[in-house]
Structure 1
């Protein structure tokens, strides 16, 4: 993630902040600017604010800010949900103990996912994928998964003790809310980027034939475990269960890479390999990691960063930051994910050039949903 600063005083602020600790100005995430902006009251209406930037249009906080779960901004003319909260179909039952905290944690993770999807320029709904819009159900006592565009997350995943129990039960070296959301979003984008596109044959050559019986494959994985030698071909044991899961695990892994590298670069932790090779002085030339960087360049930066972070964690007595060894076969799959996203960007850029100046690219439109239902 990029580094943000308060547009009133220049103090460093974070993606989840609602106020600047130095100057006290209210803060919100502006999806149009893709930045955190400082706000000041705009009128007698306490819910109306003016952005302290070159853009003078008034804004409001997302309606879910009332519950303390969102700091994203919406146009002044609406009292609606922001582009991220508008993707919710079901929210937890807030009358149940612990549900509000769980929802707060889920929304923080989901906002980071949506931020990445917007940076990639990926659509939240498409007419040709054979599924509905990307939608989220946050409910209790549900099976986490994806079906026809709907990502369901059991809110108990937000409980650190329960998440650790399941991590050990399933033998997973890494388990997080953001990881779940990235994985499940991968199932949605398989239909957008692979199924029905010219990449399906290449997908099958790399990941396997997705037409294999999914239910039997998953049952086999949980009853018997991964096949011997899985770690020579997959980013995780679960990826070996079925080609769809291999794609989703690889997709999540790719999103981990891109988001973490951008954060490391923005924080000054990750000198560019190309810059060092040419003896350039810091700061080195930067690229938009979501749209300009090649996959080989990403990988060249990723490996030394993860080694350094693992050593830092060990120095603090913690488990490895990055508990993975990615084999060459999985690297080729990661490169495939990279190309699938970039190919979509090329198509969208070409389509945008043929539109009238007033037309809005599809990826900037949110999926229309009513006020989210309350989960059980």
Structure 2
């Protein structure tokens, strides 16, 4: 994530901020420039176009929408196909917090240059069904199908999410992680499944034509193979080749976004101060578009070690509780190549 500044006083501002903590100016995110702009209630003119606050501003959305867009919803809001009813305020509160994670996801996808074709423009385009099992008392299955990502808003509740994480024996479970995993299925379907990379994908991840339901049943009956750490990023990745791809894709987004955030924060690890390290300084980059996966993971190795030490110093669990064996390195390299190839071809959809 890039570093953002208030357009009025130039003080640092968080990506989700609706007001500057320094001068108090109302601010909102402007997609074309990828920056925070002033966001008065009456709107602001940017490059001859008036930009207004998203209609979900009162629910925490700080994105701006062009007056001539034909919608009161910002781009992120328009991608939500189904949401709780207007009178379900409990679920809408969870939607507001989930919206922050969704907008972070979309920013990163745009920053990487990945195509985002909305469901309302193309059959099979990207959409989000954000539903709540907590308020509806109905089962909501997190997943992806034909471009539609379904998320259970109850996952934003710490107690619920943590209980599920413990029950499933997961090392990591967040709303942003869910979104990154499920959008991995979306990009697998539009960038890999019917393209020239499918043969290499099958060689690395396995044959995705294996029966999915049988794979799920086997996984939850017998669990992951005893030696899964040697070739997979997580136990869940062992369930089916497409789950392996989605898990790997999610970790690619975790790693590159954290590196970019460190770079935007000016973080540099001085080699002569790191015990057991004798090489040059580690300087995370804003973009690794022109780098290979070994460079990305070398920087990540040392940065994640440092971050894990910091979180342990606070009495918290490791920020990144995963190891990356050589087979996963190769898989991440495949994802990196797919992302860079797609970015080179993408002309943008917004």
* 1:325 is aligned to 2:320: no
1: distance between equivalents of 2:258 and 2:66? Answer: 30
* 1:9 is aligned to 2:9: yes
Q: How does 1:306-317 map to 2 (within 5 A)?
A: 306-317=304-315
* 1:93 is aligned to 2:69: no
Any idea what SS the aligned residue of 2:151 has? strand
Q: How does 1:1-376 map to 2 (within 5 A)?
A: 1-39=1-39, 41=40, 46-50=41-45, 55=47, 57-65=49-57, 67-78=58-69, 79-96=71-88, 98-125=90-117, 132-141=124-133, 142-271=140-269, 288-289=286-287, 291-348=289-346, 361=347, 363-365=348-350
Under a length normalisation based on structure 1, what TM-score does the superposition of the two structures give? 0.84
CA deviations on 1:214-236 (whole Å, 9 max, x unpaired) are 01101111121111211111000
1: distance between equivalents of 2:19 and 2:50? Answer: 18
Q: Are the structure 2 counterparts of residues 138 and 126 from structure 1 closer, same or farther at C-alpha, using a change threshold of 3 Å?
A: closer
User: RMSD value over aligned CA atoms?
Assistant: 2.3
Q: Are the structure 2 counterparts of residues 145 and 278 from structure 1 closer, same or farther at C-alpha, using a change threshold of 3 Å?
A: closer
Q: Is the 8 A contact 2:112 2:343 kept in 1?
A: yes
1: distance between equivalents of 2:158 and 2:285? Answer: 36
CA deviations on 1:299-353 (whole Å, 9 max, x unpaired) are 11100011001111111111111110111101110010000011112333xxxxx
Any idea what SS the aligned residue of 2:128 has? strand
Q: Is the 8 A contact 1:69 1:103 kept in 2?
A: no
Shift of residue 290, structure 1, vs aligned partner: 5.7
Aligned length: 336
Instruction: Report 1 or 2 for greater relative contact order, CA contacts < 8 Å, sequence distance ≥ 6.
Output: 1
Query: What are structure 1's unaligned runs of at least 5 residues?
Result: 349-360, 366-376
2: distance between equivalents of 1:278 and 1:184? Answer: 37
Q: Is the 8 A contact 1:182 1:251 kept in 2?
A: yes
Q: Are the structure 2 counterparts of residues 290 and 137 from structure 1 closer, same or farther at C-alpha, using a change threshold of 3 Å?
A: farther
Q: Is the 8 A contact 1:287 1:293 kept in 2?
A: no
CA deviations on 1:198-257 (whole Å, 9 max, x unpaired) are 111100110000000001101111121111211111000000000000000000000000
Under a length normalisation based on structure 2, what TM-score does the superposition of the two structures give? 0.90
Stretches (4+) displaced over 6 A: 276-280
2: distance between equivalents of 1:131 and 1:56? Answer: 32
CA deviations on 1:105-155 (whole Å, 9 max, x unpaired) are 11000001100111122222289xx96111000112311111111000111
Any idea what SS the aligned residue of 1:84 has? helix
Query: What are structure 2's unaligned runs of at least 5 residues?
Result: 134-139, 272-276
Q: Is the 8 A contact 2:259 2:285 kept in 1?
A: no
* Comparing 79-88 and 112-121, the one that deviates more: 79-88
